A = this chain, B = another copy of it.
Amino acid sequence: MSLQKLSLNKVFGGEHVRYEHQSEVLSCTMQFAIYLPPQTKKGQSLPVVYWLSGLTCTDENFMQKAGALKAAAELGLVIVAPDTSPRGKGVPDDPEGAWDFGLGAGFYVNATQEPWAKHYRMYDYVVSELPALIEKNFLVTDKRSISGHSMGGHGALIAALREPERYQSVSAFSPICQPTQCPWGEKAFSNYLGSQREIWLDWDASVLIAKASAHVPMLVDQGSADHFLAEQLKPTALQDAASRAGYPLTLRMQPGYDHSYYFITSFIDEHLRFHAQALLKSR
């Protein structure tokens, strides 16, 4: 698992670096970005926040648009942003090239159906393979938190609900809270996981929240002016399920905010402080 450096930018005294590596889990070459705050240059091991992006994104959107790196430098948080799907030669895409399925839309599940099963194993990649790679190659602790936006918010939630022992905290912006009951999720799950809907339930945060083996702090922000809110995102399904399960969810409806990075940037500092509190307490 060797890393090839693609680019480096100094930012807020630290470094934003993009790497390429061969993923065994995904059977392809993947790119990711990492932000290393200035403290790492002084030999300090820092905890890591994993950021999962939404449909059509790559590792670049969050690093360029979220305005998160100032707070990351101040708080001493490494940030890792993976891509949103397997990529490259031989990786199948939506036959019609749709933006909401296939490339850029791995949905953070492990596909079981052909032709997706060989490459589309984004859950194992972001939850296991990538953290192992990061913890082997960078000056980081084994304390992790996870966050994301939209499809990536769904990814962050299911990761922390399926394997809570791996994370100190989880947060999400505008997550797809009930993918088994919305058009984006139904399209992705029927292709990646097949037609048996009961199998889908293992990848739906509003279902998993009742079965979580442990509870980690969970923060969700949702804009009220988000055009995808009613049809695709369904935060009340998550809230109702959390309430029934006694799960410690903080869901905040943010009036007037939409689905864009202008929403994310407005609250990302609060999310990073939320994660820092959990990560630094756990040291």
Query: How many copies of this chain does one complex carry?
Result: 2
- Contact among B65, B69, B266 with A12 in the assembled complex (CB-CB below 8 Å): B266
Given contacts A70-B265, A265-B69, A265-B70, contact A256 B10 (CB under 8 A): yes
CA distance A263 to B14 in the complex (A): 11
Grouping DSSP codes into helix (H, G, I), strand (E, B) and loop, the A interface class, with mixed when no group exceeds half, is mixed
Q: Does A257 contact B (CB under 8 A)?
A: yes
Interface residue ranges of A69-92 to B (CB < 8 Å):
69-70
Nearest-neighbor residue (CB-CB) of A264 within chain B:
B11
Q: Does A128 contact B (CB under 8 A)?
A: no
Q: Does A260 contact B (CB under 8 A)?
A: yes
CA distance A257 to B67 in the complex (A): 17
- Most central of A13, A256, A258, A266 by chain B CB within 10 Å: A266
The 0/1 profile, CB within 8 Å of B marked 1, for residues 149-173 of chain A is 0000000000000000000000000
Category for how many chain A residues contact B: 20 to 34
Given contacts A70-B265, A265-B70, contact A260 B65 (CB under 8 A): no
Interface residue ranges of A229-271 to B (CB < 8 Å):
256-258, 260-263, 265-266, 269
Q: Which residues of B contact A65 (CB under 8 A)?
A: 64-65
Q: Which residues of B contact A257 (CB under 8 A)?
A: 10
Q: Does A133 contact B (CB under 8 A)?
A: no
CB distance from A75 to the nearest CB of B (A): 15
Q: Which residues of B contact A9 (CB under 8 A)?
A: 258, 260, 262-263
Q: Which residues of B contact A67 (CB under 8 A)?
A: 67, 69-70, 265
Which 5 A-B residue pairings sit nearest by Cβ, starting from the closest? Answer: A67-B67, A9-B262, A11-B262, A10-B256, A10-B257
